[in-house]
Amino acid sequence: MEQPRKRAKPGRAPSPTGRTSRPRQAEVARLAGVSQATVSLVLNARSDGKGATISEETRQRVLDAARSLGYVPDPAARRLAAARNNLLGVFSFTATFPTDVQHSYYPFLVGVEQEAAALGYDLVLFTGSSSGGAGAVGPDALSRVRLADGCLFLGRHVPRAELKRLVADGFPVVHLGRREELEGLAWVGADYVSASRDVVARLAELGHRRIVLVREDDEAPASSDRQEGFLDGLARAGLPGGPAAVLRCVDPVAELTADRVRALVADGVTAFVAEETDTGAAWRAVSGAVREAGLSCPGDVSLALLGSPPPDVSREPVPMGFEVPRHALGAAAVRLLAAMVAGQEADEPLVACEFRDGVTAGPHEVHLP
Amino acid sequence: MEQPRKRAKPGRAPSPTGRTSRPRQAEVARLAGVSQATVSLVLNARSDGKGATISEETRQRVLDAARSLGYVPDPAARRLAAARNNLLGVFSFTATFPTDVQHSYYPFLVGVEQEAAALGYDLVLFTGSSSGGAGAVGPDALSRVRLADGCLFLGRHVPRAELKRLVADGFPVVHLGRREELEGLAWVGADYVSASRDVVARLAELGHRRIVLVREDDEAPASSDRQEGFLDGLARAGLPGGPAAVLRCVDPVAELTADRVRALVADGVTAFVAEETDTGAAWRAVSGAVREAGLSCPGDVSLALLGSPPPDVSREPVPMGFEVPRHALGAAAVRLLAAMVAGQEADEPLVACEFRDGVTAGPHEVHLP
DNA sequence: TTGTAGGCGTTATCAG
DNA sequence: CTGATAACGCCTACAA
């Protein structure tokens, strides 16, 4: 029976570039006088002692041969055989690198990259979420992410149906930012509740007895969390809470006039806490109104900001408050994703924010009657 | 004759999670009631009319099956079979997202992402170049990039041997930034020569007859290019060039004193041109010394900066000069890389800089004797 | 201790 | 028009 002859270049279009092929394990094996499998064994010697059943002499011969040939394993083949490609996806619903740096995911990506590197993963950036790029825009645009071992999602407007499908299929998915509406979707977020509570606690510690929160009129989880923590902080300090402690403004800058601030202060308020938003309106309103009212900041009243100051006012005095740990969030998301990819069901949804002393809050001396 | 039975999970550790593995072409085929090969044919339908010998009905069945299964081709397998990935690699020799945003590749990446999206490629960020991550630091660290169809390299310190290997093997590689030392390495860079020449031309047009360049004492291609363009600009305008027109400083801020500026002006110099460097020292020195010398800027002398002003002086008057088109550079690099991947030998190494009028240069009235 | 024999998922060729 | 089938380069259970 005649063996079918090997085709010269079977199933392969002639390489357009005349690519010279690199040495493979088979050639190393030939040079070392061993089998290809042995080469593989030697090259992937388990560092954990186990399975290292290769004679030192053979080992050296193989190593020498590999070196002299300049052998380098083919990553594609390696990954194919390992049924895993060490790739984590990153999918954002706006351009990952928007022209407007302010709105970018950059700070998160710093953490994402670092942690991915530490864990031995490379990153796939799926493009065209906005720009209408790589994946045809069809309803299965999201499906491209399956090429990675798992995928990280950033951004607000997530196509629920698509994502649900991925989750249902058991594809490892992590969302950066709290997102509890979607059953079974893993996420990591910042612990705004604790952080806000801590800020209030610190103000109380400084002697403040009447503290108000200035927030915008939206229903984002990030806002509710802060309010919850704020009110909880008041309660724990035995301070008056309730609706009176919260100023909910549609347009903070317009509504929080100098007069209003003066009235509040006259009424006994000694500290203002602003929530952080995209626009930074709440903080801008508070600090502006206080200044206009002619009140000195750490002296007459104390201010705090539940988040990071907007970049364009970064030259102003640093407000007491907390930093959203964007690096840490990115890193945590990657850790969680990697755990899911590895089949462990670890979860670490909430990441602590870092308290920031700042210079806008000081002790409040209780005035004697 | 008994066929050897397939092992259940041959050569593969039992999946710890029992995670459902990604669907393969075989399953799509089964669902569609065709052979796996047919699936492959349908999915890679040649757009160039040829070989599209598949009945429309079958085609649809296959497509539907693939969609309903969420099928996505395995990039590793695809690569291994000598096809394309639709993946472009990005490899930087420092962290791609460094903590210090100033030194980041962000502006380039904006262009890279946009162009990749437009061309239908996703991006693979190879991590750990610095952080010692994914690819163990071995000599084969670079070779991971072979998973992609081609790779973009950013950064100064490139392991020459490794890169050379990739290039020699015909793997499509593009370096972002001029790099002619390495034979055969494709690159894209900014056209500093033309841009600098244009700045001089503009100054000459404004009536300036004695113009000097202040540069630092390094040998970076970016510096030499600017000087070359500067001198060429002088020559074309029929102005005095030669070494006298170039102030080469080891420490510009220290060497370019107010006195020296005064002396130069007394000698007939009416315009100063500073090169752009990492530190921005040349520009800082020039603008500082002129100010100290009590000279008004667009009035007494004109200034120009061959590049973008350092961010920390961005509130100062915008200097005449040019912008390094970082977006465009990133985009051009991707275009070139994509062309190489497609087997075309296109090249567009030099990208034009954008002239910036600024407010630091004005007409020079020739004083009557 | 080493060699043998699949098989990972795709692509492309070649007979039916 | 479709179904086998042979690689691609590597990994590993199992036999010798």
pLDDT tens-digit readout, A34-60: 999 899 988 887 665 555 578 888 889
Q: Which two tokens stand for residue B186?
A: 């494709």
A146 pLDDT more than 90: no
**Between B160 and B91, whose confidence is greater?**
B91
pLDDT for A368 equals 46
Closest CB to B122 among A79, A112, A126: A126
Give the A:B interface size as CB pairs under 8 Å: 187
Q: Where are the beta strands (DSSP E) in chain A?
A: 87-92, 122-126, 150-154, 173-176, 186-190, 211-216, 246-249, 271-275, 302-306, 320-323, 350-351, 354-356
> Hey, where are the domains in chain A?
1-83, 87-190+328-353, 192-323
pLDDT for A136 equals 39
The CATH number of B1-83, from 3.40.190.10, 1.10.260.40, 3.90.1150.10, 2.60.40.10, is 1.10.260.40
pLDDT for B82 equals 72
Q: Is the minimum distance from the CB of B76 to strand D below 7 Å?
A: no
Could you tell me which chain A residue has the CA closest to the CA of B147?
A: A76
Whether residue A12 and residue B134 make contact (CB cut-off 8 A), yes or no, is no
Closest CB to A17 among B12, B106, B343: B343
Radius of gyration of chain B (CA): 28
Task: Give chain B residues 12-71 with Cβ within 7 A of strand D.
Answer: 12-13, 33-38, 41, 53-55, 58
Q: What is the DSSP letter of A318?
A: P
Q: Is residue B268 within 8 Å of residue B210, measured between CB atoms?
A: yes
Which H or E run includes B273? strand B271-275
The CA distance from A41 to the nearest CA of chain B, in Å, is: 13
Whether residue A133 and residue B146 make contact (CB cut-off 8 A), yes or no, is no
- pLDDT, one tens digit per residue, over B67-87 is 888 888 888 888 888 767 889
* Mean pLDDT of all residues belonging to chain B: 83
List the nucleotides on chain C closer than 7 A to a protein CB.
1-14
**Between A95 and A339, whose confidence is greater?**
A339
Measured from the Cβ of residue A84, the count of other Cβ atoms closer than 10 Å reads: 13
Q: Give distance CA B136 / C1' C1 (Å).
A: 29
As its CATH architecture, domain B192-323 has: 3-Layer(aba) Sandwich (3.40)
Could you give the CA distance from residue B165 to residue A76 in angstroms, rounded to a whole number? 17
Q: Which two tokens stand for residue B350?
A: 């030099």
Q: Is residue B166 within 8 Å of residue B142, measured between CB atoms?
A: yes
pLDDT for A130 equals 46
Could you tell me which chain A residue has the CA closest to the CA of B18?
A: A343
Banded pLDDT at B8 (limits 50, 70, 90): very low
Residues in chain B with CB shorter than 8 Å from the CB of A72 are: 139-140, 143, 165
Highest mean pLDDT among B24-33, B153-162, B305-314: B24-33
- pLDDT, one tens digit per residue, over B140-157 is 678 888 889 899 998 777
Q: Is the minimum distance from the CB of A24 to strand D below 7 Å?
A: yes
Residues in chain A with CB shorter than 8 Å from the CB of B16 are: 342-343
Banded pLDDT at B369 (limits 50, 70, 90): very low
* A54 nearest nt, CA–C1': C1
The CA distance from A247 to the nearest CA of chain B, in Å, is: 36
The lowest-confidence range among B17-31, B80-94, B111-125 is B17-31
Strand-by-strand arrangement of the B211-216 sheet: B246-249, B211-216, B271-275, B302-306, B320-323, B354-356
- pLDDT, one tens digit per residue, over A277-289 is 877 889 999 999 9
Scored b (16 or more CB within 10 A) or e, B33-47 reads ebeeebbbbbeeeee
Could you give the CA distance from residue A210 to residue B346 in angstroms, rounded to a whole number? 70
pLDDT for B47 equals 58
* Mean pLDDT of all residues belonging to chain A: 82
Whether residue B16 and residue A106 make contact (CB cut-off 8 A), yes or no, is no
- What are the C-alpha distances in Å from B256 to residues A4, A365, B194, B301? 80, 54, 27, 15
B134 pLDDT more than 80: no
Q: Give distance CA B108 / C1' C14 (Å).
A: 48
Q: Give distance CA B88 / C1' D14 (Å).
A: 40
Mean local confidence (pLDDT), B119-140: 65
Q: Give distance CA B1 / C1' C13 (Å).
A: 28
pLDDT for B215 equals 95
- pLDDT, one tens digit per residue, over A77-90 is 888 887 777 899 99
Q: Give distance CA B21 / C1' C8 (Å).
A: 12
Whether residue A124 and residue B122 make contact (CB cut-off 8 A), yes or no, is yes
Strand partners, A271: A211, A302
Same fold, B1-83 and B192-323: no
pLDDT for B1 equals 31
A275 pLDDT more than 90: yes
Please tell me the CATH code under which domain A87-190+328-353 is placed.
Answer: 3.40.50.2300
**Between A92 and B359, whose confidence is greater?**
B359
A265 pLDDT more than 90: yes
The CA distance from B364 to the nearest CA of chain A, in Å, is: 37
Residues in chain B with CB shorter than 8 Å from the CB of A122 are: 124-127, 134, 144, 147
* B3 nearest nt, CA–C1': C6
The CA distance from A20 to the nearest CA of chain B, in Å, is: 5
Q: Give distance CA A136 / C1' D3 (Å).
A: 30
Banded pLDDT at A196 (limits 50, 70, 90): very high
Whether residue B170 and residue A140 make contact (CB cut-off 8 A), yes or no, is no
* A6 nearest nt, CA–C1': D6
Number of alpha carbons in the 13 Å side-chain half-sphere of residue A37: 2
pTM of the predicted structure, to 2 decimals: 0.83
Q: Which residues contact B80 (CB under 8 A, 6 or more apart)?
A: A74, A76, A77, A80
